[in-house]
């Protein structure tokens, strides 16, 4: 089996719901990160074998094979194809997994894997609402109804069930949400995200031009008192808007290459994709999957959780990484060290590649060796991946 190397990783800074990126089309967001990879790596525009993009709401501006639309809108040659993946919130981590597997199998040499979600334009749940409103049905047939009678799968219920199962209190959640904002703001101020972010030219509401370089959802003024004062999303529950991931606009992409392509195009190897896993788990709790996915990927890697230097576990809700850490015996000081989706946002289809981009750069900054990503997904699936830094330490 060939090795799959990460030779580039970039992301946009995220925009808040109806915020600074809301006027940018998702195809243009995606093309911006693809173009940046082409510029930074110097790869010839016809040397990429495929563009694999994750996006969750495949409707409206994000319909009709967004991955191909991104490849056409980018600098890449028209002969470079494109395809689209839906693994719910892990869509672009799955895009990276498919890209890595294509390279590992020896069938392709260079893949761009990424993802995007313009949640201001294409609202979360709009595909299901469209089905209901226009008589196109709901995504639950007779067989699933028999298995889960009367249950409407909901991430909000899952977040509460997970908190209950792993005994996570409102206090723990509020403290974790606060630390997410504090870490994200500190990383921003110290410039840790500068290398990974593609500056985007934007036009503000008043018509003035600006450049978007900072994740818009971070609340530098966040306080424990403020978080404690928020109402829970479910009556009697523990999750609030503060301990939920934010609705965001954003894109990210990774370039994956084999050794031949690295030599041929003079690419810089940043990290090796070490081990991959994807699992299914209970779709009602829905968000527990990162736990078995992590156990599986560690087994495949022949590593223990203590061997890992950094973990990125998506903060879909605060209860997800907190439950995960308890279950796998993780060291909290290595978890989401530059904040997570509670502060930085969760542009659904783009999040896997966004977390991967941050992980690659932070491993380089700290000189860590192994990094692990795990993401919970609608339907109870979860992807997990371990990468190994190969590049020089960059600080």
Ligand X SMILES: CC(C)(COP(=O)(O)OP(=O)(O)OC[C@H]1O[C@@H](n2cnc3c(N)ncnc32)[C@H](O)[C@@H]1OP(=O)(O)O)[C@@H](O)C(=O)NCCC(=O)NCCS
Question: Hey, which residues are catalytic here?
Answer: 89, 346, 376
Rounded Cα–Cα distance for residues 100 and 83 (Å):
15
Smallest distance from the beta carbon of 17 to ligand X, in angstroms? Answer: 6
Smallest distance from the beta carbon of 378 to ligand X, in angstroms? Answer: 6
Smallest distance from the beta carbon of 358 to ligand X, in angstroms? Answer: 18
Which residue, 246 or 275, has its beta carbon nearer to ligand X?
246
Which residue, 12 or 245, has its beta carbon nearer to ligand X?
245
Smallest distance from the beta carbon of 244 to ligand X, in angstroms? Answer: 4
Which residue, 2 or 214, has its beta carbon nearer to ligand X?
214
Which residue, 48 or 222, has its beta carbon nearer to ligand X?
222
Residues at the contact surface with ligand X, assessed by CB under 6 A? 89, 124, 155, 177, 219, 222, 226-227, 230, 233, 241-242, 244-247, 316, 346
Which residue, 242 or 290, has its beta carbon nearer to ligand X?
242
Smallest distance from the beta carbon of 123 to ligand X, in angstroms? Answer: 10
């Amino acid at each position: 089996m060939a090795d799959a190397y990460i030779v580039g990783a970039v992301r946009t800074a995220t925009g808040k719901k109806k915020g600074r990126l809301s006027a940018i089309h998702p195809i243009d967001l995606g093309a911006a990160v693809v173009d940046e990879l082409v510029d930074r790596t110097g790869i010839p525009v016809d040397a990429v074998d495929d563009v694999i993009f994750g996006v969750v709401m495949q409707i409206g501006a994000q319909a009709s094979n967004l991955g191909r639309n991104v490849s056409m809108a980018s600098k890449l040659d028209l002969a470079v194809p494109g395809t689209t993946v839906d693994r719910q919130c892990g869509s672009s981590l799955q895009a990276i997994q498919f890209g890595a597997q294509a390279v590992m199998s020896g069938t392709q040499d260079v893949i761009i894997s990424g993802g995007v979600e313009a949640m201001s334009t294409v609202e979360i749940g709009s595909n299901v609402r469209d089905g209901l409103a226009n008589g196109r049905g709901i995504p639950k047939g007779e067989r699933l109804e028999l298995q889960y009678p009367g249950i409407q799968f909901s991430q909000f219920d899952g977040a509460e069930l997970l908190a209950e199962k792993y005994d996570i209190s409102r206090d723990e959640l509020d403290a974790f949400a606060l630390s997410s904002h504090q870490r994200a703001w500190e990383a921003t101020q110290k410039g840790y995200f500068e290398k990974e972010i593609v500056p985007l030219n934007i036009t503000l509401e008043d018509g003035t031009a600006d450049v978007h370089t900072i994740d818009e959802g971070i609340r530098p003024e966040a306080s424990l008192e403020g978080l404690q004062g928020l109402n829970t999303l479910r009556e009697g529950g523990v999750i609030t808007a503060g301990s939920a991931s934010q609705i965001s606009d954003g894109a990210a992409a990774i370039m994956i290459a084999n050794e031949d392509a690295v030599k041929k195009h003079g690419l810089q190897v940043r990290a090796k994709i070490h081990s991959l896993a994807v699992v299914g788990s209970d779709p009602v709790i829905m968000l527990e999957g990162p736990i078995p996915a992590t156990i599986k990927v560690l087994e495949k890697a022949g590593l223990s959780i203590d061997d890992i230097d950094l973990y990125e576990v998506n903060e879909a809700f605060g209860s997800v990484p907190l439950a995960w850490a308890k279950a796998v015996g993780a060291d909290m000081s290595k978890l989401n060290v530059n904040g997570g989706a509670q502060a930085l946002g969760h542009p659904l289809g783009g999040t896997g590649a966004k977390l991967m981009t941050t992980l690659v750069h932070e491993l380089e900054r700290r000189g860590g060796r192994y990094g692990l990503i795990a993401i919970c997904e609608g339907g109870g699936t979860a992807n997990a991946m371990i990468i190994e830094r190969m590049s020089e330490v960059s600080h």
